[in-house]
Amino acid sequence: MKRTFTKERCETLGEYVIENNMTVRAAASRFGISKSTVHKDLTQRLKAINPGLYSEVKLVLEKNKSERHLRGGEATRKKYLKSHKSRIF
């Protein structure tokens, strides 16, 4: 029974990540599970369960990984802009 649940969860996560171009962190938040579980489901379990879906998910995850330094820099920029504005007013 647990294996069926895991299989369904892996495929649901994979489809969700592809449709919404979602990060592992965002998917974990959306489904209420840990980032490590989402990552393991998408990178290890899904490969054995549904190789076709895995290859599509892999492309999204690789794209997100290549862009993460940009998202981190943007978050830091916004943080300091907000901090700076609050000191001016």
How many residues does this entry show for the chain?
Answer: 89
Spatial distance between the Cα atoms of 68 and 70, rounded to a whole number of angstroms:
5
pLDDT band at 79 (very low <50, low <70, confident <90, very high): confident
Spatial distance between the Cα atoms of 14 and 60, rounded to a whole number of angstroms:
10
3-state secondary structure of 66: helix
pLDDT reading at 8 higher than 60: yes
Q: The pTM is what?
A: 0.73
Q: pLDDT by residue (tens digit) across 12-68?
A: 999 999 999 999 999 999 999 999 999 999 999 999 999 999 999 999 999 988 887
